Amino acid sequence: MEILAKAAFTFYCLIICMGSIMAVASRSLVRALVGLIAVMIAVAGMYLLLAAPFIAFMQILIYVGGVSVLIFFAIMLSRASAEGDEAGPVSLRKAVNAFACLLTPAIILSLIIIYHPEAALDAPTNVPPALLGEGMLGPYLLPFELISVVLFAAMAGAVLAAWRKRGRK
C-alpha cells in the first residue's frame, strides 16, 4: 500500500508540474485553461491521498465544474483571437521580473519548509464529513453565513457591473 500511495503521489506530481507549466507558458489561453483543469484534478487527487475525500469532491465540484467554466466564459467573451493575445515575445524586463518573482518566494519558502520541519503525523487524520457539518453549523457558523453573503454580493456586483443599459449604446 505504501508503494501504491507513493506511486499515486508521483503521478499527481507529474500532472501538476506539466499542467501548471502549460497553464502559465502556453500561448493559447484555452490550452492554458486545460492545463489549469488538469492541475485542479490532480490537486483533488492529492486531497484524496490526504484522506480528505469531502474536500476532494468539493474541489472537483467548485473548481472543475464552476470556476473553470467562468474562466472559459471570460476567455470566450473577451474575444481572444485563435492565436491568443499571448502570442508575440515577452519583453525582457517582464521575463526577468517574472523569474525574480518565481525564485524569491520559492527559495525562501522551501528553505523554511526543509530546515524547520513541523512535527508531522505518519498517517493523515480521518475526519468524517458529519464532523465538518457540525463544525460549519456550530463554532464556525458566522464565517459560513458570511461566505454566503460574500457570494451573493459578488454575484449581484457582477450582474450590476456587466449590465448593459437599455437605450444607451
Map the footprint of other proteins across residues 129-158, applying CB under 8 A: 131-132, 135-136, 140, 143, 147, 150-151, 153-155, 157-158
Rg, Å, the chain Cα set: 21
Q: Give me the least distance between CB of 7 and other proteins, in Å please.
A: 14
Q: Give me the least distance between CB of 19 and other proteins, in Å please.
A: 9
Alpha carbon distance 138, 130 (integer Å): 12
Cβ count within 10 A of residue 22? 17
Alpha carbon distance 62, 76 (integer Å): 20
> Of residues 124, 137, 141, 145, which one binds other proteins by CB under 8 A?
124
Number of residues forming the site for other proteins (CB under 8 A): 82
| Contact track, other proteins, 56-85, x by CB under 8 A | --xx--xx--xx--xx-xxx-xxxx----x
Alpha carbon distance 49, 124 (integer Å): 9
Q: How many CA atoms lie within 13 A of 138 on its CB side?
A: 6
> Of residues 7, 11, 83, 113, which one binds other proteins by CB under 8 A?
113
Residue 129 three-state SS: helix
> Of residues 13, 14, 137, 141, which one binds other proteins by CB under 8 A?
13
Q: In this complex, which beta carbon is closest to other proteins, that of residue 7 or of residue 62?
A: 62
